[in-house]
Amino acid sequence: MTGALITVGVNTLAFYMISEMVPGFDVKSKKTAFMMAIAYSFLAALAWLVALPLSITLAFVFAILAFIPLIGPLLSGAGLFITTFGLLFGISFGLLLLIDRIMDDFNMRSKTVAVIASVMLGLLGVLMRVFLG
């Protein structure tokens, strides 16, 4: 329960800060950022249940590729980071587009804005997993 509250708090702060830094990512108020964080956190938890089999499959493929001499050392150092970031980026992108359509007080002007925000949320997600476990 505490982890969920921390996640919602961090996501609220992230959405509000992204709205200040990225033109075209318009969050009307702090209440909207909080509601976005709740919706985003809930939908992300559901999306991770779907993404879990995909991540296991990717781990298996990366384990096979690790035996290739040039690719193996690259994967051993960055494989988990790249996989986690890729999944977080993809999930964030889809969820932001969905939340943009659902919420009236949130607006993204283009898909480019969604990509930039997804990269920022993906990096934040990786950092949260590193520091919070």
Sorted by sequence, the CB contacts under 8 Å of residue 71 that are 6+ apart come out as 65
Q: Which domain holds residue 124?
A: 2-132
- pLDDT, tens digit (0-9, with 9 covering 90-100), for 104-118: 889 999 999 999 998
Distance (Å) of CA 66 to CA 33, 63, 76, 77:
41, 5, 7, 11
Three-state DSSP at 42 gives helix
Domain count for the chain, please give it: 1
The pLDDT, as a whole number, for residue 29 is: 87
- pLDDT, tens digit (0-9, with 9 covering 90-100), for 1-30: 677 788 888 888 888 888 889 899 999 888
